[in-house]
Chain A
Amino acid sequence: MSLAEIFQKYPNRRYIMYGGKGGLGKTTFSAATAYYLAKKGKRVLVFSVDPQASLSDIFERDLFGKGNIEIMPNLFACEVDADQRIKDYQEDIRQKILSMYGMKQIPEEIESYIKASSAEPAMEESAIFDAVVDIVVKGDFDYYIYDLVPLGHALYYLSMASIYDAWLENITHLREQMREYDKAIATMQHEDQIGQDEIYNELMYIKERIGNSSKIMTDTEKTAFFFVVNPEEMTIVDTEKAAQLFSRYNVPLAGYLVNRVIDRSLLEENIPTYLKNRIEMQAKSLKLIDEKFGSSVLSQVPEFDSEIKGLKIIRDLAEVMFEEKLP
C-alpha cells in the first residue's frame, strides 16, 4: 500500500505522527505531509514541542512560541515553547494562591517549592504533553501532524502515564474516604451542607488530562504513527527495537517510510568509488528493510541534492512521498 492510499483508506486518522531517531527526516516528512493534505483542501496544523524545533527552519519563518501561524491557505504551523509554558504555569499557580488567600506575597516555603518544581525530572515531559492536549482538544483542524520529540521522550511519557493513572486512582480513593468523614462530621455537628471538594475536582481534571494525552498516542481509530528509517543497518535495528517498545504501549503503527535513498541508476555513470560504495551499502540495507518491514514500507524517498527548506522544495518532497503531482 502507498502512503496516499493509507490516508484515503483511513480518513478518521487525524493525529499523524512521525517517529524515529534524530536527524532522519521526521520534521521534513511532517512538513511535506501537512503540505499535501492542505493542498487537498484539509485544514492542517503541524506542530512541534521540541526545544530545538526545526519547523521554523523548514518553513523559513520564526514560529517558536508564537502560536498557530498560517504558512499558506489551510496550513498552519506551531512550535511550543515548553520552558515558557512551565514559567507561565508556575505564575498562574502563584496568582491563584495570592487571590485565594488574599496574600500579598507567597510564603517562602511555598515559593521555593514552586521554584524547585521546574527542576524536577518529569516536569518538561508533563508540560509538553499537557501542551499537546491543549492543542488537540480544541479540535479546530482536520489533521494534527505531530512532529514528535525523539522517541525516548514519548516512551518515557507513555510509561509515566500508566503509573500516574494507578497513582491517581489511589489518591482519589483516599480523597473519597476523606469526603465520607466530612459528611459524617457535618451531620454530627448539624451542618446543613458541606462545600465542594476542590482538590477532588482537580484530581478529576488531572486524570482526564493524563488520560487524554496518552490516548492521543494510542487511539487506534484516530492515530497513525509512522516510523522514518534511513537505509543504514544501525538505524534499521534501532527502529525495529523502538517499534517493539511502542507496540507494547499500544501505539498504532501505520507503516514505515524510507528516507535518503541514493538513486541506483547513478551506478551507470562515472561516479567516484565513495558514492559507489554508499550505493552498494544502501542496497544491502534496503534488502534488510524489506526483510524486516516488508509490505509495511509505504514510501521510498530519494536523497535530495539540496536542503529541504521553503515551500517549493517541500512540494517536491510531498510529490515524491505521495507519488502524485500537486497543483
Chain B
Amino acid sequence: MEEKEKDRKKKKAGGIIGFFRDFTYGMATHGMARHALKQRSSMEHLFILITMGDMLGIPILPPYYSLRLLPHVVPQITTWKRRMLREKDFMDSMY
C-alpha cells in the first residue's frame, strides 16, 4: 500500500512537464477541486444521515440492511456526528 503511494507520488511529481502540470493545477483547478471535494463530503454526510440516521435519533432505514453499510462508513462516523450536530447550514435547512 505505502509502496504504491510512493510510486504514485513519484510519477506525479516527475520532470518539467510534471512541474507545469502541478503549476497549472495550482493556478486553475485547485480551487475547483477543493470545492468539489467539499461538495462531495457534504453528500457523504447526507448519505450517512439517511442510512444511519438512528444514531442521532432519526430512524430511517431497515436496520438489518443498514448494518451492512456500517463497516464502510466507520471512519466518517465521528466527523459526521460532529458536523451534523454543529452545522449551522444543516439546521437552517431544517427550519
Contact = CB atoms under 8 A, between A and B. Distances in A.
A22 to B, nearest CB: 24
Interface stretch (A172-180, A262-270, A278-286, A309-317): A172-180
B61 A199 contact: no
B69 A190 contact: no
A113 B25 contact: no
Binding site secondary structure of chain B: helix
Interface string A178-209: 10011011001110000000110011011001
Contacts of A171: 47, 50-51
Interface string A279-305: 000000000000000000000000000
A177 B77 contact: no
A199 B72 contact: yes
* Interface-central residue, B46, B68, B73, by most chain A CB under 10 Å: B68
B70 A113 contact: yes
A166 interface: no
A107 B74 contact: yes
B5 to A, nearest CB: 12
A97 B59 CA distance: 22
B33 A122 contact: no
Contacts of B47: 171, 174-175, 178, 199
Contacts of A93: 67-68, 70-71
A283 B54 CA distance: 54
A178 B40 contact: yes
A182 B47 CA distance: 15
Given A185-B33, A188-B25, A110 B63 contact: no
A184 B36 contact: yes
Contacts, number: 106
* Interface-central residue, A86, A97, A171, by most chain B CB under 10 Å: A171
Interface residues of B, number: 39
Contacts of A184: 36
A117 B69 CA distance: 13
Nearest to B28: A188
B25 A205 contact: no
Contacts of A188: 25, 29, 32-33, 36
Nearest to A116: B54
Contacts of A122: 62-64
Interface string B40-81: 100110110011101100011111111111111111011001
A46 B25 CA distance: 65
Contacts of A96: 71
A90 B68 CA distance: 9
Contact of B74 (A110, A126, A167, A175): A110
A126 B36 contact: no
Nearest to B43: A178
The 9 closest A-B pairs by CB, nearest first: A126-B64, A120-B63, A117-B63, A181-B40, A188-B33, A96-B71, A206-B65, A188-B29, A97-B71
Interface of B: 12, 21, 25, 29, 32-33, 36-37, 39-40, 43-44, 46-47, 50-52, 54-55, 59-75, 77-78, 81
17 contacts: A93-B71, A97-B70, A97-B74, A113-B55, A113-B70, A117-B66, A122-B63, A126-B62, A167-B61, A174-B50, A178-B43, A182-B40, A185-B36, A185-B40, A199-B69, A205-B68, A209-B65
